[in-house]
Structure 1
Amino acid sequence: MPPLLKIRSERDSMSAIERRIADFILDNAHLLRDYSSQQLASALGISQSSVVKFSQKLGFKGYPDLKYSVGEAVARAGNGQAEAARQPAAGDDAYAALDASLRASKAAAEEETRLLNPRADVETIVGLLDQAPKVFVCGLGDDGVYAREFAMRLSLLGVLTVHHADPILLISNLSAVRPGDVLLMFSEFGQMPQLGHAAREFQGAGGKLVSITRHTANPLRAMADASLAISAHDPAPHIEQLLYRSSLQYLLDFVFVLLCQSNPERHRQLAHNLERVQHLLAS
């Protein structure tokens, strides 16, 4: 896993001093090569041993090993962005440069999201969905858009799907929950109390909770039986939101394709249902 992604992914479980080191490295990765462990410690007002222990806790031999790895990652990212920016832009073309930058950022966010969701975890979730008697899907706001679309895709595969855009209505439907049923809960930040309450009630009724949130420590993800984590980081808030949506869509698409490929009956049902839809649209 790339060092900056590893630091980001483990930040929320770090101590206060470790988070200060992590934040400094994430914000100043391109400058880290100029800092010795003592200089970094002095800049943060901590001991040099704290910097060394931080490096070792991340799996590096020491701070020089961490600094070299971060430097390589920054250089690779810089070369890739420069190459992407050069190809479409013959001159000072802001339009082409912006296009290349956005495509490169989306690709990087999707790659980080892929690395944050190990094969075993994704396959476990695919198995839960494939074997579930019913799949409940819930999401609010922007999350609701992706929840509704994914619920439709599950239905096309022949999965009995119950979509809710209101957690209160979901709670009112808990009498229909049976052991083995799955709740896909979409929540970018995983902080909304009403969603957490609905999820606990669902688990209490014997169902399994799969959370879909940012890769942060949040209540919904902490209580989930399984989770999908989305990576999206950019200094510009509007770009960061686009990266989140792009990475989320990539991950949902991959889960959908795995469901199709892992069960031939699902694939057959999809073809049959798509044919039905086409017939209705053509009539």
Structure 2
Amino acid sequence: MKNSITKQIESGYADLRRSEKQAADYILEHLEQVADEPIDRLARAAGVSQPTILRMLKSLGYKGYKDFRYQLVAELAKSGESAENDGQPQLMYGYTLDKKDGLEEIPVNITMTTERMLEETLKNFSGKIYKRVIEALKNARLIDIYGVENSEVTAVDLLTKLLYLGLPCRHFTDCYLQQIAAGRLTDQDVAVGISYSGESKDTVDAMKAAKRSGACTVAITNFKDSTIARYADILICTSQDQHFYGNAIFSRSTQIQIVDMIYMGLISSDYEHYVEQLNKCEKVVRNKAYDGRTRR
């Protein structure tokens, strides 16, 4: 995670003036050098005046340049310390919610945590796996989608996007129906199982049934060594380092990222065809939007 200096600058960045943002950008890119620089040298390096530096720091909550450097040096000294929290599981991956944290700190902390998770997901999603998923879905006779609890949100999102593209797909909210449907698939079909932990019994059982039926199975999960991975012909892992705690509040962010990648990949794979499908869909749902002329 980024240190508190970085978080404080980023949380107040939007409210800074243009010249102050220029100074903030320089500091964010050269934290270690700034710790040893007097204000006049920093101002020259950033291409701004010394008063601009002071205005920026006061806007961010610092008493002055001396106070800023003192806190920066202290933060850099902590950087080598262990990030473990006495061996206790964290409430959220990469982010521990402390009762002393101020309300204004939460938006930037959540944003930074999600950003890191999305970046790690990209690192874990290889180009070869991506192409295999796209080809499997576009050529499937039928696509079954399985997911429960938090992952059901992602399952419905994937279902919606595939329907927009005219692909034959279905998702049952009843776990019993998911397993019955999975048992009726063929080797021309694709089954997509979504589970953050990879241990959701209902989703795993549906994937197991789909694999026995000969369908191509795609698992979207967080852990490559999870149970659902045993029944996946194509395994998509969002990360390998996240903690699973409670209801895994951040799990949907990376799952939705994968869905969006799949959606855009399908469109790109046959642009003219899928744009035509989207146009047809747009005509069908057009009357669901308010027309400005009918407003009162």
What is the letter of the counterpart of residue 84 of structure 1? E
Over residues 38-91 of structure 1, what are the superposed CA-to-partner deviations in whole Å (9 max), with x where a residue is unaligned?
xxxxxxxxxxxxxxxxxxxxxxxxxxxxxxxxxxxx7xx447546424525732
Separation (CA, whole Å) in 2 of partners of 1:232 and 1:246:
15
Q: 1:179 aligns with which of 187, 208, 218?
A: 187
Going by fraction, where is helix more abundant, 1 or 2?
A: 1
Q: 2:260 aligns with which of 229, 242, 253?
A: 253
Q: Give me the TM-score of the superposition, normalised by structure 1.
A: 0.64
1:231–1:244 contact (8 Å) kept in structure 2: no
CA RMSD for the aligned pairs?
Answer: 2.9
Give the 5 Å matches for 1:88-127. Answer: 88=14, 90-91=60-61, 94-127=102-135
The change in CA–CA distance for 1:83 and 1:219 in structure 2 (over 3 A counts) is: same
* Structure 1 unpaired stretches of 5+: 1-73
Aligned match of 1:161: 169
Separation (CA, whole Å) in 2 of partners of 1:91 and 1:268:
53
Separation (CA, whole Å) in 2 of partners of 1:235 and 1:202:
29
Displacement of 1:198 in angstroms is 2.2
Separation (CA, whole Å) in 2 of partners of 1:251 and 1:94:
32
Aligned match of 2:206: 198
2:193–2:204 contact (8 Å) kept in structure 1: no
1:232–1:241 contact (8 Å) kept in structure 2: no
Aligned match of 2:197: 189
The change in CA–CA distance for 1:268 and 1:167 in structure 2 (over 3 A counts) is: same
Displacement of 1:171 in angstroms is 2.8
Matching of residue 148 in structure 1 with residue 118 in structure 2? no
State, as a whole percentage, how many aligned pairs show the same letter: 17
Q: Would you say how many aligned residue pairs link Structure 1 and Structure 2?
A: 207
1:134–1:161 contact (8 Å) kept in structure 2: yes
Displacement of 1:154 in angstroms is 0.5
Separation (CA, whole Å) in 2 of partners of 1:175 and 1:216:
25
SS in 1 for 2:191: strand
Please say which structure displays the higher CA radius of gyration. 2
Q: Give me the TM-score of the superposition, normalised by structure 2.
A: 0.62
